[in-house]
Amino acid sequence: MDAVMELATETQAEAGEGSPKDPAWWSAAAGLSDVPQDLNSIHAANATCAAFHADVAAKHAASLAQWVQYLWTQIASLQNKIFELEDWKKKTLDDMSKLRFEHKLLRRKLMPDDQGEDAGLPVKARSLPLLLAEHVDSGDSTSRSTKKSKAASPVSSPTSSPASMRPPPGLDMMLESSKDGGAKRVSFAPPAEAGAPAPPAALPMVKPPSPKEVELPTAPRSMSELSLSESASLGSETSPMSAAALDEGLLEGVHVTPSTVDGAECESAEWRIGHLSTKLRGCMGRALVSSPFTAWGMEDLRLMVFPESREVSHGPRSRRQKELYAKKVSEGPLEGVLKLKVPDCPAPHVLEYYLKIGEIRKGPFNHNFAESTVNGCVDFGIDWLKQVDADHSLTVGVEILCTGAAANGVRAADGGMPP
**pLDDT (tens digit per residue) in 345-391:** 888 889 999 999 998 999 899 999 999 999 998 888 889 999 999 99
Model confidence band, residue 39 (pLDDT cutoffs 50, 70, 90):
confident
**Rounded average pLDDT over 257-279:** 91
pTM, to two decimals: 0.42
**Above 60 in pLDDT, residue 86?**
yes
- The more confident residue out of 79 and 283 is 79
Model confidence band, residue 138 (pLDDT cutoffs 50, 70, 90):
very low
Q: Does residue 388 contact residue 360 with C-beta atoms inside 8 Å?
A: no
Taking every pair of Cα atoms in the chain, the longest distance, rounded to a whole number of angstroms, is 163
Domains of the chain from N-terminus onward: 74-114+133-147+158-205 (no CATH), 242-413 (2.60.210.10)
For 70, what's the count of Cα atoms within 13 Å in the CB-facing half-sphere? 6
**pLDDT (tens digit per residue) in 275-325:** 888 888 888 778 889 999 999 889 899 999 988 766 555 556 788 888 888
Per-residue exposure over 301-330, b if at least 16 CB sit within 10 Å of its own CB, e if not: bbbbbbbbeeebeeebeeeeeeeebeebbe
Whole-number pLDDT of residue 71: 93
Whole-number pLDDT of residue 403: 83
Whole-angstrom Cα Rg for the chain:
45
Sheet holding 394-401, edge to edge: 254-261, 264-273, 394-401, 350-357, 360-368
Whole-number pLDDT of residue 49: 93
**Above 90 in pLDDT, residue 148?**
no
**Above 50 in pLDDT, residue 88?**
yes
Q: Does residue 305 contact residue 264 with C-beta atoms inside 8 Å?
A: no
**Above 90 in pLDDT, residue 95?**
yes
Q: Please tell me the distance from the alpha carbon of residue 175 to that of residue 200, in angstroms, as a whole number.
A: 12
Residue ranges with strand state E in 233-349: 254-261, 264-273, 288-289, 293-295, 298-306, 337-341
Q: Does residue 374 contact residue 333 with C-beta atoms inside 8 Å?
A: no
Q: Please tell me the distance from the alpha carbon of residue 341 to that of residue 287, in angstroms, as a whole number.
A: 12
Q: Please tell me the distance from the alpha carbon of residue 287 to that of residue 305, in angstroms, as a whole number.
A: 5
DSSP for 195-264?
-SPPPPPPPPP-PPPPTTTPPPPPPPSSHHHHHHHHHHTTGGG--HHHHHHHHHHHHTSEEEEEEEETTE
The DSSP code for 384 is G
Q: Does residue 269 contact residue 397 with C-beta atoms inside 8 Å?
A: yes
Torsional sign, CA 243, 249, 251, 255: negative
Three-class SS state of 334: coil
Q: Does residue 69 contact residue 77 with C-beta atoms inside 8 Å?
A: no
Q: Other C-beta atoms within 10 Å of 394: how many?
A: 23
What's the residue count for the chain?
419
Whole-number pLDDT of residue 40: 83
Q: Other C-beta atoms within 10 Å of 271: how many?
A: 24
**Rounded average pLDDT over 112-139:** 47
**Above 70 in pLDDT, residue 114?**
no
